[in-house]
Structure 1
Amino acid sequence: MDLRILIVDDEPANRQVLEQALTAFGHRAAVAEDGPVALELLARSRFDAVLLDLHMPLMSGLEVLRRFRAARGPNRETPAACVTADVLTRRPDAYLDLGFQAFLAKPVQIAKLAAVIDKITASSIAEQRRLRTAAKLTALQRRMGALPLA
């Protein structure tokens, strides 16, 4: 499934690895090097998921999450995964209590990245399929002269 995913990380190497992995999975990735840039992108474009580095210099991933959840933009309900090397401060499930839908430890293992994307976008994928099916049905009904289906 072709998903649009925002990667937010202050480290260029981390952004590059995540972007290459997501592209290899068949997804489209956008990148932001800090929280303010991420919030600009989140205000303008719809994403299926957000991967947020927890510790960034200008604004933490948690602050980015709180702000885009509170905004009226198109990503208010978009699932987000916390991506961090900080595995000692909190248990992985504690990040869920903060509002993230998943947790990824750095260095990111590609198989775990794939599993997290599948997990947090499951409802998004189902909705995309439903919308595509409805669009195909509408197009078919138009071609057939809007005949009702029995």
Structure 2
Amino acid sequence: MPDRLFTQVLVADDDPSTREFLRGALAAMGYAVTLADDGAQALDLARRTRFEALLLDCRMPAGGAIDVLVALRGDPAALSHDAVSMATSAEVPADLRKTLIDAGFACVIEKPCRIASLANALRATLGIEDDAPLLDDEEALLAAGDASTMHALRSLFRDELQHLVPELESLATDPATLIDRMHRLRSACGFCGAARLAAQAKVLQNHVLEVRWASPAALHRFRSEVERTLDALA
């Protein structure tokens, strides 16, 4: 079963087999996919359609990923002006990765990519499914054993989250510590019934494990989930 329905994603790549792989993989995850085979078509579609995410190949006829993104960001009237953008490339040396990140891409996906890597990259920036509960009292009671213990654990959990928010920026520059922090947070989420935050932490953890970097878009999404969970705990 797909875990997301009707999130609009534009895939632009001049290789037919790559386009078909990405279309099938994303559709199986529940995304609605539109295809483009060159930079000009991708830019035209992104101007006329509101996409949540763009997957842009670095080398395409009529403009590669950077060309498309620069033109799109420079056009305030474009419906996908603020869409999360991800670059794809068959080769991603360190200098190219830095250039793409500096240009504003949320992440860089090396082709051929695993479906799990693609899923983690998208969920880390777009978020998990919207109908997941922020707090599950039944699960928390099962984990804690009684209501008094559950409330005590949630009080400690709230304090932990309040300290985590200002630490996120520094954690972004230390992938190993961020990965460990997400691992420990998932355990605390389990005891407190914070299923949604646990899922987002797992996605961020897996994404950083693969790319060894936490993009501003991924950190913004995770911070939003932490803040929503804090509101629910209050």
TM-score normalised by L of structure 1: 0.77
> Given that residues 47 and 81 in structure 2 are in contact (C-alpha distance below 8 angstroms), is that contact kept between their aligned partners in structure 1?
no
2:85 partner amino acid? A
Higher relative contact order (CA 8 A, sep 6+): 1
User: 2:62: which partner in 1?
Assistant: 58
| Count of equivalent residues | 125
> Given that residues 87 and 108 in structure 2 are in contact (C-alpha distance below 8 angstroms), is that contact kept between their aligned partners in structure 1?
yes
SS in 2 for 1:10: coil
User: 2:19: which partner in 1?
Assistant: 15
Superposed displacement of residue 50, structure 1: 0.3
Superposed displacement of residue 57, structure 1: 2.4
> 2: distance between equivalents of 1:70 and 1:17?
30
Q: Which moved more, 1:82-91 or 1:69-78?
A: 82-91
Q: How well do the aligned residues superpose, as a CA RMSD in angstroms?
A: 1.8
1:4 aligns with 2:25: no
List aligned pairs for 1:106-145, cutoff 5 A: 106-122=111-127
2:66 partner amino acid? L
> 2: distance between equivalents of 1:40 and 1:58?
12
- Percent of aligned pairs with the same residue? 31
User: 2:89: which partner in 1?
Assistant: 84
Quick one: structure 1 residues 93 and 122, their matched pair in 2 at CA, closer, same or farther if it must change by over 3 Å? farther
Gaps of 5+ in 1: 127-150
Superposed displacement of residue 59, structure 1: 0.8
> 1: distance between equivalents of 2:94 and 2:38?
22
Superposed displacement of residue 121, structure 1: 1.2
Superposed displacement of residue 67, structure 1: 0.6
> Given that residues 51 and 83 in structure 1 are in contact (C-alpha distance below 8 angstroms), is that contact kept between their aligned partners in structure 2?
yes
SS in 1 for 2:70: helix
Q: Which of the two has higher C-alpha Rg?
A: 2
- Aligned counterpart for 2:47 among listed residues 37, 43, 46: 43
SS in 2 for 1:55: coil
Gaps of 5+ in 2: 131-234
Q: Deviations over 1:71-96 (max 9, x none)?
A: 12111110000100122262635421
> Given that residues 85 and 106 in structure 1 are in contact (C-alpha distance below 8 angstroms), is that contact kept between their aligned partners in structure 2?
yes
Superposed displacement of residue 20, structure 1: 0.1
1:33 partner amino acid? D
| Higher-strand-fraction structure | 1
SS in 1 for 2:108: strand
> Given that residues 102 and 120 in structure 1 are in contact (C-alpha distance below 8 angstroms), is that contact kept between their aligned partners in structure 2?
no
| Higher-helix-fraction structure | 2
